[in-house]
Each structure stands twice: as C-alpha cells, then as structure tokens.
Amino acid sequence: MKKNNTENKKYKALGIMGGTFDPIHYGHLVTAEEARCQFNLDVVVFVPSGKPPHKKDYRVSDAKHRYLMTVLAVVTNPFFDVSRIEIDREGYSYTIDTVKAFRKKYPWSEIFFITGADAILEILTWKKVEEIMDHCRFIAATRPGYNLSDLDKKFKAILPEYSNRVETIEVPALAISSTDIRRRVAMDKSIKYLVPEAVEQYIWKNNLYKS
Ligand code: ATP
Ligand code: MG
C-alpha cells in the first residue's frame, strides 16, 4: 500500500487520451506527443473505451483487438502507457467514471484530458461535464478543418465558467481518421504510414475491417 502511494506521487502532470482506437493511428499518437511536450506531462495514458455510449450505431471491434493495437502502437514511446480501466468495466463507458478513477489513484497529479478539437464540443453533451471539468483540464487539438478561435468562442458561449479549463494546441495537420482506415482496409487499399507498422500487421493478421 505504502509503495503504491509513493508510486502515485511521481506524476506531477498526466494526460489521458481516450478513444475508441478502432484502430489507433498516427493522428492519435502525434496529438498525444504534442500535448506531452507542450504541457510537460510525465505520462500519457491511452484509455481505449469499452462500450462507447456515442457509438451505439456502428459495430465497434472487440475490445481485445483495440487494446492490443493500442499497446503495439505505444511500445516505442517510454512516456506512453495504456489502461484497461474502461474495457474491464461493465456497461457503457462514461468519461466521468474514468476521470474519477484517475483522480483517486493520482490525488496529487494535475490531470489533462486530451481530445481532438472535433470531440471537445461533443463533450458538452457528455454525462456530468461540469464534474469532469472539476477533476481535470482539457487539451483540445486541432484537426484539419477546425478553427481553434471559433471553437474557443463556441465553448465560452456554452460553458463560460469552465472555459479556462480548456487549452488548445496546434498539431501538424493530420487528416487521418479510423473511419478512413477501416474503409481503406475494406477496399484493399494501403494503410501504410497511416498507422504504426505493428498495427498494420495486426490488422492483416486478424482480418479486421474486411466486411
Ligand atoms: P472514428 O473515425 O472511428 O471516429 P477517430 O479517428 O476519430 O475514429 P477516435 O478513437 O474516435 O478516432 O478518437 C479518439 C480521440 O482522438 C478523439 O478525441 C479524437 O478527436 C482524436 N483524434 C482522432 N483523429 C485525430 C487526428 N487525426 N488528429 C488529432 N486528433 C484526432
Ligand atoms: Mg472519432
């Protein structure tokens, strides 16, 4: 118990990168790395979602595959880690539960939730958004086609008392999305250089996204 307490004190700041990661791609990895460097994060923990409440309508790949691809993708970065917290939890995955679990485990750390700019406005529709914001700050990264100052204005208009909890960062324009990768695989098109080599091999080996 004591050892754990010391362990958990070592992070001054940590990042959580949530996602379906179906599959994980270089857009996610570049965003996490940029956030780590700009905000001096000691670690970025990737949290593949279990049953995402907002993706009820499309078939999400088995959590086992999404978890393993995420592990394969982060092995080369000593500052990246993967958590099973959402995939081991029963029922739908809600970010509030995840953030609260991290807060409990790391009471002394500043926690940043990293998302793409498209996701930040969606967050306003999440369960208990104010409570989430009480526990962590947000880092919203640009994705091609999104205007950061517009986003800032929209955010201030909707949730003014929490706008100082949201930071924005510019990441090299990456138009990569998991949807596009799944589509490419289904059409037998190349996904080389869109995902790490090991993830690409994993997709072929396990026959993912073929139908
Ligand atoms: P899908 O197309 O299935 O929705 P996705 O590529 O958006 O997948 P998710 O797992 O839904 O990937 O995204 C996890 C997080 O990563 C979200 O916060 C999302 O905004 C962000 N993200 C996804 N792609 C990029 C990208 N190319 N650049 C920056 N952030 C991204
Ligand atoms: Mg998405």
Distance CA 27, CA 25 (A): 5
Give residues with Cβ within 8 angstroms of 13, minimum separation 6. Answer: 39, 40, 41, 42, 109, 110, 111, 112
Distance CA 133, CA 19 (A): 18
pLDDT confidence bin for 10, thresholds 50/70/90: confident
pTM of the model: 0.92
Distance CA 120, CA 82 (A): 22
Q: How far is CA 37 from CA 5, 15, 31, 198, in A?
A: 26, 11, 10, 24
State yes or no: pLDDT of 73 exceeds 90. yes
Q: Are 107 and 135 in contact (CB under 8 A)?
A: no
Q: Are 89 and 1 in contact (CB under 8 A)?
A: no
How confident is the model over 169-209, as pLDDT tens digits? 888 867 899 999 999 999 999 999 999 999 999 999 999 99
Beta-ladder partners of 81: 45
Nearest alpha carbon, ligand 1 atom 26: 27
Q: Provide mean pLDDT across the span 14-21.
A: 96
pLDDT confidence bin for 93, thresholds 50/70/90: confident
CA atoms within 13 A on the CB side of 25: 18
pLDDT confidence bin for 70, thresholds 50/70/90: very high
Nearest CA among 93, 99, 150, 90 for reference residue 120: 150
Give residues with Cβ within 8 angstroms of 136, minimum separation 6. Answer: 16, 99, 102, 103, 111, 112, 113, 165
Pocket of ligand 1 (CB under 6 A): 19-22, 27-28, 31, 115-116, 118-119, 141, 143, 171, 174, 176-179
Atom of ligand 1 nearest to the CA of 26: 27
In three-state secondary structure terms, 17 is strand
pLDDT at residue 42, as a whole number? 97
pLDDT at residue 3, as a whole number? 47
Q: Provide mean pLDDT across the span 20-40.
A: 97
Q: Provide mean pLDDT across the span 65-70.
A: 98
State yes or no: pLDDT of 117 exceeds 90. no
Nearest alpha carbon, ligand 1 atom 21: 116
